[in-house]
Chain A
Amino acid sequence: MKRDHNHLQPNPDPSSLLDAPSTGKAKVWDEEAAQQDCGMDELLAVLGYKVKTSDMAEVAQKLEQLEEVMCNVQDDGISHLASETVHYNPSDLSTWLESMLSELNPPSTFDPFGAAGTAAAALDDSFLGPAESSTLTTLDFDNINRKHQKSGQQIFEEASCSDYDLKAIPGKAIYSQNTQPQPQTHDSSSSSTPTNVKSEKRFKSTSGPPSPSDIFPPPPPAAASYGIPTDSTRPVVLVDSQENGIRLVHALMACAEAVQQNNLNLAEALVKQIGFLAISQAGAMRKVATYFAEALARRIYRFYPQNPLDHSFSDVLHMHFYETCPYLKFAHFTANQAILEAFEGKKRVHVIDFSMNQGMQWPALMQALALRVGGPPAFRLTGIGPPSHDNSDHLQEVGWKLAQFAEKIHVEFEYRGFVANSLADLDASMLDLRPSEVEAVAVNSVFELHKLLARPAAIDKVFSVVKQMKPELVTIVEQEANHNGPVFLDRFTESLHYYSTLFDSLEGSVSSQDKVMSEVYLGKQICNVVACEGVDRIERHESLTQWRNRLSTAGFSPVHLGSNAFKQASMLLALFAGGDGYGVEENNGCLMLGWHNRPLITTSAWKLTKKTTAISQ
């Protein structure tokens, strides 16, 4: 189908695709309102090409031709173009194209541009070298797309790859434009290569004058997508990785925003870009970006992670996370110290652990109890955990191990394991509680309470059950972040910062296998925060202030963690590789572990508020 160059009139239709007014990062596209700049096409000017608006049609034609030539004449004579070409400072686009064309002796026919060959795509084709009929497109392609967002036209639809059939994606934004199907051209190329000098200018796009958009045909509907990366991504040289880092963050934010606005096509294009940009980074940023990109993709494609994972696998991940970084150890140490102090003088003690996992917290407590003045108390442990999927009684196994351990150090030990899908299923009566004069109770929860926030009544039920247990102490360790806000974009931003910090702190760890496993462990959390909703979204982290409010409302008052806990925690951190970055902070009696001054987890201790009955007479 021939590309129609006739409608060159500006087509101001700003909001046909973006339903909501853009906010946040997308505003950067709004900034420069449509102002013609001495006749130069503004959008391309941003890329560095000075093209007069009046020339645009011509330029587009030439680009078409060029692209045609390149894609058709694949094997002969232009292999030099197939290698990485970096085009610096293209100030006169028209003549340059002319020269290229004259070299190549273009065929006389026009190809229907269809979805694939937009000017930008062709441009990039020429720079990056045409891949053999596979994928080429670029980031710029998408960039220009974004520029056109405001003008409300989806232009660069590529019907190329059927594996990206987006019919499933609801939302009429893209399809509402026109319904003429356009043929798939074999050169509908999309591959994003992460490098490109032009990419430097990518994110400075503006809404710009609508005119360039008219050059390109209206997008084909159905099965359209932006740059579709397929196989032949060439390894390309990165021009500026730091700038790419910034772009990466911008792209992430922009994608999240697009998702929030339900602009799924834009989001999809962006998420692909993110994937490639992420490769350009090194270290923590790359990994974080990859996980977030995956999570966003899952959200966009509605391909939710199949919960739950095999229990033994998540155990393994948990263990590696325990080994690699001090967070869990810090949690255990500080909680144990508080419990130890609360149990002073008691002859029989009972710990109810909401976060049993491998039971790694309890050997240290048992040892400390064994060494206390006057000898150890009788130690009873009730462990609560999710059901295991392979019919093994995981909780019982852990109980056996702990019993063996207790025997070694001569501590009287009793254990019971409870399997529960959710803590809210618990009831105090199940726990065989003994009177509090006989037995002192402590409740411990490490990274478990936030999962209850998915259903509003659950957390209150759990609090009331805890109160029925009449504990001496409740120790709670939670992530220090607000990932439970109502607005998706806010959650996304917060979690991006949080997990970036967390991944950063992992970088210093020694064993690479441990590190990778820890990253997978965290990656699952990222996926949950970003991709899931409703009851599936269990990683609903809340900050200390929020927990404080909840707990005081529920009838608990804070207990200050002592200086022993602080000192032990500081020493523990000193023992860790990369210990320079970790720091312990005290916050009104709670201890926070952070990385470079960003608090990441908080341990707090609580007791029941004694109700004073006022009898008025």
Chain B
Amino acid sequence: MKRISPDSPSPQPNLKRVKEDPETGGFMNLDENLLYEVLKHVDARTLAMASCVSKLWLKTARDERLWELICTRHWANIGCGTQQLRSVVLPLGGFRRLHSRYLWPLSKPQAASPLPWAPPKIINSKPPARWGKDEVHLCLSLLSIQYYEKMHFTSRRR
């Protein structure tokens, strides 16, 4: 679904660029920073779709800070500070992965890609408005296990 505008620039960080492209609308002319600000306010689904639009959008929409917002916006306070959370989640794969692999499947039945071991079959189909502490802890644990497994088995195969 990527729509790459013909003269989309190669991604370079922190460069303001205004594209005069008659084909695309004004929205496509947003630069990264502005795009980032806009994307801060969208929900998970929109953010994921946004990454399919163009290379620039892909890069922006994959920003961990945006996904951190998505994750933490609706989850219960698990008691730790932001920095603390970041220092754990980012090394283990990041918020985007946490969301797409664990938080999202937990809340939506069969909506996301299958979990490593089995496709999720969620019994209750209503997505919760918030993720409770237990959901969050479970997902974090699963993320860490997944990371460890990958680490464990890659080095074993060496």
A residues lining the B interface (CB < 8 Å): 323-324, 333, 336, 358-360, 363-364, 366-368, 370-373, 375, 401-402, 404-405, 408-410, 509-511, 514, 564, 567-568, 571-572, 574-580
Query: Across the interface, do B134 and A364 meet the contact criterion of CB distance under 8 Å?
Result: no
Tell me, in angstroms, the Cα distance from A368 to B116 when the chains sit together: 21
Query: Across the interface, do B138 and A572 meet the contact criterion of CB distance under 8 Å?
Result: yes
Query: Across the interface, do A401 and B118 meet the contact criterion of CB distance under 8 Å?
Result: no
Contacts of A359 in B (CB 8 A): 148
Tell me, in angstroms, the Cα distance from A364 to B102 when the chains sit together: 14
| Total A-B contacts with CB atoms under 8 angstroms apart | 108
Tell me, in angstroms, the Cα distance from A578 to B124 when the chains sit together: 14
Contacts of B142 in A (CB 8 A): 364
Query: Across the interface, do A404 and B151 meet the contact criterion of CB distance under 8 Å?
Result: yes
Query: Across the interface, do A575 and B115 meet the contact criterion of CB distance under 8 Å?
Result: yes
Partner of A371 from B80, B123, B152 at Cβ < 8 Å: B80
Partner of A372 from B79, B119, B147 at Cβ < 8 Å: B79
Query: Across the interface, do B121 and A367 meet the contact criterion of CB distance under 8 Å?
Result: no
Contacts of B74 in A (CB 8 A): none
Tell me, in angstroms, the Cα distance from A364 to B78 when the chains sit together: 16
Tell me, in angstroms, the Cα distance from A514 to B118 when the chains sit together: 11
Query: Across the interface, do B117 and A409 meet the contact criterion of CB distance under 8 Å?
Result: no
B residues lining the A interface (CB < 8 Å): 78-80, 84-85, 87-88, 91-92, 105-106, 114-124, 133-135, 137-138, 140-145, 147-149, 151-152, 155
Contacts of A375 in B (CB 8 A): 84
A70 to chain B, nearest CB (A): 53
Partner of A409 from B87, B116, B124, B149 at Cβ < 8 Å: B87
5 A-B contact pairs sorted by A residue (CB < 8 Å): A323-B117, A401-B151, A408-B92, A574-B120, A577-B119
Tell me, in angstroms, the Cα distance from A338 to B144 when the chains sit together: 18
Contacts of A402 in B (CB 8 A): 148
Q: Which of A364, A371, A402, A409 has the most CB of B within 10 A?
A: A371
Given contacts A401-B155, A509-B118, A575-B115, whether A410 and B87 have CB atoms under 8 Å apart is yes
Query: Across the interface, do A575 and B151 meet the contact criterion of CB distance under 8 Å?
Result: no
Taking A370-B84, A409-B92, A576-B121 as given, write out 15 further A-B residue pairs in contact, using a Cβ cutoff of 8 Å, ordered by the A residue number.
A364-B144, A370-B88, A371-B80, A372-B79, A401-B152, A405-B148, A408-B92, A408-B147, A564-B134, A568-B134, A574-B122, A577-B120, A579-B121, A580-B121, A580-B123
Q: Which of B78, B80, B124, B138 has the most CB of A within 10 A?
A: B138
Closest residue to B132 on the A side, CB-wise? A567
B49 to chain A, nearest CB (A): 25
Contacts of A324 in B (CB 8 A): 117
Contacts of B133 in A (CB 8 A): 564
Tell me, in angstroms, the Cα distance from A514 to B88 when the chains sit together: 30
Query: Across the interface, do B88 and A371 meet the contact criterion of CB distance under 8 Å?
Result: yes
Query: Across the interface, do B145 and A363 meet the contact criterion of CB distance under 8 Å?
Result: yes
Tell me, in angstroms, the Cα distance from A410 to B86 when the chains sit together: 11
Closest residue to B133 on the A side, CB-wise? A564
Q: Which of A359, A409, A564 has the most CB of B within 10 A?
A: A409
Closest residue to A370 on the B side, CB-wise? B88
Given contacts A363-B145, A363-B147, whether A577 and B80 have CB atoms under 8 Å apart is no
Partner of A408 from B78, B91, B117, B137 at Cβ < 8 Å: B91
Contacts of A372 in B (CB 8 A): 79-80
Query: Across the interface, do B118 and A367 meet the contact criterion of CB distance under 8 Å?
Result: no
Q: Which of B105, B106, B149 has the most CB of A within 10 A?
A: B149
Query: Across the interface, do B141 and A367 meet the contact criterion of CB distance under 8 Å?
Result: yes
Query: Across the interface, do B91 and A575 meet the contact criterion of CB distance under 8 Å?
Result: no
Partner of B92 from A367, A373, A578 at Cβ < 8 Å: A367
